[in-house]
């Protein structure tokens, strides 16, 4: 943002602005008014570019001495860089000292301290490798043909904005196609798509929107994989970009996303997903920090070795030929006899990663709507844990063939979350009861982990939400961690929980039928008791008579 539009309360102020020298403007950018990281107080010089009149008054267009992004970098970097650096140094030093204790006391409880050492190696390696990550720079001459696939099911609220963001790309018109696959929605999603196409075409017909954007309506609801499969078979171009129906692309997203495909061995690339509704409430703020760290640190660390294990659904790109080669196996995937309906992004990533490279492009940005209510959020997290567990087991069959250091970190990253509930119970319940020792070291470890996330958010994102990273870590330990044991014994389930897919409808019908059967049994049992009671009373009367 390089300037602003000001409405003059008094028309005579125009003359003052034109003649004044050394003019300084000061204002405050509230959280949520501009992209995350730009919330701040501004005080800098400006020049008047032009004046014009409207019905409601006189306006002045002013240009800042520095664009707000550069101003933020200069002003905020000094404070936050220093603060975050000090925090990171203290955190890493504390963690290293704590792990030195683990080595010393290893012989007293080898399994517990082995877990501590593994967790430290995994966590610090993610942040260290993430620091070395760099996105592939843009080559303006590299513009392969792209088809964007948007699966849609009952997304009337957001699908219009999603389509607009996919059409409004800084990319050659003749090399960009957009397919929206409506999976037999029961709301007005399909009509909203058609209205959006008409609106864009009326606004600027030279973009040939009606030639490049198509709506495909499924005859019956088959699920997200079925919708994407239909789109893949209809696509005309070399690269397929998967975009969720509640995600919105940055104008340069596609141009950045395709750059890693200059490597002929590259099979898939993930973009960065930010939270679109960050400032709704505390839950969305926690998710904002989690999303940023998950992409900018965790995926970036995997990208150093070209082994990104999940090309996330909101924005990912694949070579079309690889998708088509694995399309039937992916679409019809079953696990323990159950059809796999969610985890489509991790599953497709596994198919690609077996024989090709996968990468992450931090400069390809989209934003997505996240749950702002805890019941919906918890159902989403349970679904993600089930898909993570299922697909991680599948990936474990071939990850050993990848780069050795990357493979070791993958298997450590698989074991650490699985064992975490047991370790937490041991430290917070067993040790205090059995040994009467307060778990100070363990709690300090959780605090260091939370501070590490917050410090990275402050250093890299420069966002005011950094404090919510600490709160998320404690929320994870108190609530989300205990979904993992449930996922252990239910990871075969195929229901979404957050929307009524065909599997969810079947599950709801089963529960309804089971409830009716219980009620019938209860009535039948109650009827027998009444009959037995009547017979007993008659027998009693006969005996007395």
pLDDT at position 508 over 70: no
For residue 179, what are the CA distances in angstroms to 193, 240, 486?
11, 10, 37
pLDDT for position 295: 96
Which neighbouring-strand residues pair with 8?
58
pLDDT for position 544: 44
Q: Tell me the per-residue pLDDT of 468-489, one tens digit each, with 9 for 90 and over.
A: 999 999 999 999 999 999 988 8
pLDDT band at 83 (very low <50, low <70, confident <90, very high): low
pLDDT for position 545: 40
Mean pLDDT of 504-531: 68
pLDDT for position 30: 81
The phi, psi pair for 344, rounded to 5°, reads -60, -35
Angle at 168 between CA 230 and CA 280, to 5 degrees: 90
pLDDT band at 107 (very low <50, low <70, confident <90, very high): low
pLDDT for position 504: 57
pLDDT at position 72 over 80: no
Fold of 146-271+306-369: Spore Coat Polysaccharide Biosynthesis Protein SpsA; Chain A (3.90.550)
pLDDT at position 180 over 80: yes
Q: Cα Rg for the chain, rounded, in angstroms?
A: 28
Q: Are 498 and 386 in contact (CB under 8 A)?
A: no
Q: Which of 106-115, 216-225, 361-370 has the lowest mean pLDDT?
A: 106-115
pLDDT at position 497 over 80: no
Domain range list for the chain: 3-66, 146-271+306-369, 503-545
pLDDT at position 76 over 60: no
- Better-predicted residue by pLDDT, 472 or 540: 472
Q: Tell me the per-residue pLDDT of 286-342, one tens digit each, with 9 for 90 and over.
A: 999 999 999 999 999 999 999 999 999 999 999 999 999 999 999 988 777 677 777
What is residue 529's DSSP assignment?
Answer: H
Q: Are 132 and 164 in contact (CB under 8 A)?
A: no
pLDDT at position 498 over 70: no
pLDDT for position 414: 92
What is residue 298's DSSP assignment?
Answer: I
Q: Which of 103-107, 121-125, 417-421, 457-461 has the lowest mean pLDDT?
A: 103-107
How high is the mean pLDDT of the chain? 85
Which neighbouring-strand residues pair with 241?
148, 317
Q: Tell me the per-residue pLDDT of 439-472, one tens digit each, with 9 for 90 and over.
A: 887 888 888 888 888 888 888 888 889 899 999 9
pLDDT for position 542: 52
Q: Which of 115-124, 190-199, 238-247, 485-494 has the lowest mean pLDDT?
A: 485-494
Chain-centroid distance, C-alpha 368 = 7
pLDDT at position 501 over 60: no
**Residues 68, 44: Cα–Cα separation, whole Å:** 10
pLDDT at position 144 over 80: yes
Mean pLDDT of 420-425: 91
pLDDT band at 540 (very low <50, low <70, confident <90, very high): very low
**Residues 179, 189: Cα–Cα separation, whole Å:** 14
pLDDT band at 73 (very low <50, low <70, confident <90, very high): low
pLDDT for position 58: 81
pLDDT band at 38 (very low <50, low <70, confident <90, very high): confident
pLDDT band at 79 (very low <50, low <70, confident <90, very high): low
**Residues 155, 190: Cα–Cα separation, whole Å:** 9
Helix 483-490 and helix 404-425: axis angle, to 10°?
Answer: 110
pLDDT for position 292: 95
- Better-predicted residue by pLDDT, 430 or 532: 430
pLDDT for position 95: 65
Mean pLDDT of 481-499: 75
Other C-beta atoms lying within 10 Å of the C-beta of residue 6: 18
Write the burial class of residue 481 (CB in 10 Å: 0-12 exposed, 13-18 middle, 19+ buried).
middle
pLDDT at position 118 over 50: yes
- Better-predicted residue by pLDDT, 70 or 359: 359
Mean pLDDT of 370-378: 94
Give Cβ neighbours of residue 531 (< 8 Å, ≥ 6 apart).
Answer: none
Mean pLDDT of 206-218: 89
Tokens of 182: 């409506």
Mean pLDDT of 278-287: 94
- pLDDT above 70 covers a percentage of the chain that reads 85
Which neighbouring-strand residues pair with 214?
179
Dihedral sign for Cα 384, 387, 390, 395, please: negative
- Better-predicted residue by pLDDT, 101 or 305: 305
**Residues 131, 125: Cα–Cα separation, whole Å:** 10
pLDDT for position 229: 95
**Residues 343, 390: Cα–Cα separation, whole Å:** 9
């Amino acid at each position: 943002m390089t300037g602003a539009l000001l409405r003059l309360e008094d028309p005579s102020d125009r003359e003052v602005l034109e003649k004044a020298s050394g003019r300084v403007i000061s204002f405050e950018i509230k959280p949520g008014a501009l992209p995350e990281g730009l919330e701040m107080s501004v005080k800098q010089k400006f020049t008047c570019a032009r004046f014009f009149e409207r019905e409601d008054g006189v306006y002045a267009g002013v240009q800042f001495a520095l664009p707000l992004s550069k101003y933020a970098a200069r002003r905020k970097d000094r404070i936050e860089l220093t603060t975050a650096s000090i925090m990171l140094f203290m955190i890493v030093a504390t963690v290293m000292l704590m792990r030195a204790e683990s080595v010393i006391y290893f012989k007293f409880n080898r399994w517990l301290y082995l877990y501590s050492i593994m967790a430290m190696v995994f966590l610090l390696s993610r942040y260290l490798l993430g620091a070395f990550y760099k996105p592939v720079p843009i080559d303006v001459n590299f513009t392969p043909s792209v088809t964007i696939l948007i699966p849609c099911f009952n997304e009337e609220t957001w699908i219009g904005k999603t389509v607009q963001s996919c059409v409004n790309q800084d990319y050659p018109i003749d090399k960009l196609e957009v397919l929206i696959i409506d999976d037999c929605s029961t709301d007005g999603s399909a009509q909203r798509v058609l209205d959006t196409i008409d609106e864009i075409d009326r606004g600027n017909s030279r973009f040939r929107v009606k030639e490049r954007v198509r709506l495909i309506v499924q005859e019956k609801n088959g699920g997200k994989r079925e919708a994407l499969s239909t789109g893949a078979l209809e696509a005309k171009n070399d690269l397929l970009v998967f975009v969720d129906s509640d995600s919105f692309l940055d104008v340069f997203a596609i141009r950045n996303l395709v750059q890693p495909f200059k490597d002929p061995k590259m099979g898939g690339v993930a973009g960065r997903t930010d939270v679109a509704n960050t400032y709704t409430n505390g839950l969305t703020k926690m998710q904002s920090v989690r999303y940023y760290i998950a992409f900018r640190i965790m995926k970036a660390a995997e990208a150093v070795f070209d082994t990104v294990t999940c090309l996330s659904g909101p924005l990912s790109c694949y070579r079309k030929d690889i998708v088509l080669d694995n399309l039937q196996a992916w679409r019809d995937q079953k696990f323990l006899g159950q059809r796999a309906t969610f985890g489509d992004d991790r599953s497709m990533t596994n198919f690609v990663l077996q024989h090709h490279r996968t990468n992450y492009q931090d400069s390809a940005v989209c934003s997505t709507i996240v749950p702002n209510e805890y019941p919906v959020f918890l159902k989403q997290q349970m679904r993600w844990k089930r898909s993570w567990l299922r697909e991680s087991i599948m990936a474990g069959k071939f990850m050993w063939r990848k780069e050795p250091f990357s493979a070791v970190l993958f298997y450590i990253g698989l074991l650490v979350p699985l064992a975490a509930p047991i370790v937490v119970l041991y430290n917070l319940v067993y040790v205090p009861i059995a040994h009467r020792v307060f778990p100070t070291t363990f709690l300090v470890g959780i605090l260091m982990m939370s501070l590490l996330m917050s410090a990275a958010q402050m250093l890299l994102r420069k966002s005011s939400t950094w404090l919510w990273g600490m709160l998320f870590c404690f929320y994870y330990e108190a609530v989300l961690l205990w979904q993992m044991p449930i996922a252990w014994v239910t990871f075969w389930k195929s229901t979404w929980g957050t929307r009524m897919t065909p599997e969810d409808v079947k599950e709801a019908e089963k529960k309804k039928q089971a409830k009716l059967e219980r009620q019938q049994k209860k009535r039948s049992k109650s009827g027998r008791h009444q009959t037995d009671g009547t017979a007993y009373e008659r027998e009693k009367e006969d005996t007395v008579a």
